[in-house]
C-alpha cells in the first residue's frame, strides 16, 4: 500500500472536518493553555522566514479590538 493510499484511507475515516474521534480522550479532556514564549529568544532568531507574512487570525483581531 502506497503512502497516498494510506493517507486517503485515514482521511476517509473522518466523518467531518471537526471529527475528533481519533484523538485520545485523555488528551481531549485537558484544558488548553497557551505556550510560554520568551520574547528575547524570539527576537534573537532570524525572522526573515516571516517576511511578507501578514495573516492575523480574525478571532484574535476581534479580541484586540475590545
pLDDT tens for the chain, 66 residues: list them: 566 666 666 555 777 878 888 788 898 899 988 888 888 988 898 988 888 888 777 777 677 776
Q: How is the chain split into domains, by residue range? A: 1-63
Nearest C-alpha neighbor of 19 from the set 7, 29, 10: 10
Amino acid at each position: 500500500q502506497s503512502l497516498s493510499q494510506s493517507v486517503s484511507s485515514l482521511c476517509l475515516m473522518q466523518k467531518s472536518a471537526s471529527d475528533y474521534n481519533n484523538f485520545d480522550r485523555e488528551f481531549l479532556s485537558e484544558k488548553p493553555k497557551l505556550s510560554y514564549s520568551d520574547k528575547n529568544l524570539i527576537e534573537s532568531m532570524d525572522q526573515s522566514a516571516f517576511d511578507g507574512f501578514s495573516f492575523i487570525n480574525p478571532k484574535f483581531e476581534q479580541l484586540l479590538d475590545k
